[in-house]
């Protein structure tokens, strides 16, 4: 079983965001297929990738005075805090709990992309901000 597969429904048409989302899906797939000994490292990679993704999105929202910034950044903060707890659990050998967290995260991530991220990507595209090299260059 695959928790989350990259597909058209997850693609928002703002390539720097889509690329980071795809990387998240890849790291989540690594977590899903990790052995118990590999899990702490795989989860740490997922947390690092999520930090980069959320930082980038938060930056786009700040620089463009996006209207739903507060709600969206709070969601990012809450999820990242839970994921950091997951890292402690993975290091403590609580693999089953971490895999449950991965399943919940996959479902949250798909919903988040299709709601708050979709609104942000649309804002970036329709405002012309997506064409600004500062918004598209890799950080």
Sites of contact with Fe ion (CB under 5 A): 57, 117
Q: Cβ 32 to Fe ion, closest distance in Å?
A: 19
CA distances from 3 to 15, 50, 82 (A): 23, 17, 18
Give the nearer residue to Fe ion in terms of CB position, either 14 or 57. Answer: 57
Q: Cβ 116 to Fe ion, closest distance in Å?
A: 5
Give the nearer residue to Fe ion in terms of CB position, either 92 or 108. Answer: 108
Q: Mind spelling out the 3-state secondary structure of 17-30?
A: HHHHHHHHHHHHHH
Asked whether 45 and 33 are in contact (CB, 8 A), the reply is: no
Give the nearer residue to Fe ion in terms of CB position, either 57 or 95. Answer: 57
Q: Cβ 73 to Fe ion, closest distance in Å?
A: 8
Give the nearer residue to Fe ion in terms of CB position, either 76 or 99. Answer: 76
Q: Cβ 72 to Fe ion, closest distance in Å?
A: 6
């Amino acid at each position: 079983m695959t928790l989350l597969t990259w597909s058209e429904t997850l693609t928002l048409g703002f390539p720097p965001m889509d690329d980071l989302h795809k990387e998240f899906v890849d790291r989540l797939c690594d977590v899903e297929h990790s052995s118990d000994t590999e899990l702490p490292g795989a989860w740490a990679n997922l947390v690092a990738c999520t930090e980069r993704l959320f930082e980038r999105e938060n930056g786009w929202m700040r620089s463009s005075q996006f209207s739903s910034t507060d709600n969206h950044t709070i969601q990012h903060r809450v999820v990242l805090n839970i994921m950091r707890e997951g890292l402690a659990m993975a290091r403590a050998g609580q693999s089953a709990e971490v895999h449950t967290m991965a399943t919940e995260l996959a479902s949250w991530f798909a919903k988040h992309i299709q709601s708050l991220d979709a609104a942000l990507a649309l804002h970036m595209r329709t405002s012309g901000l997506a064409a600004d090299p500062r918004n598209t260059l890799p950080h």
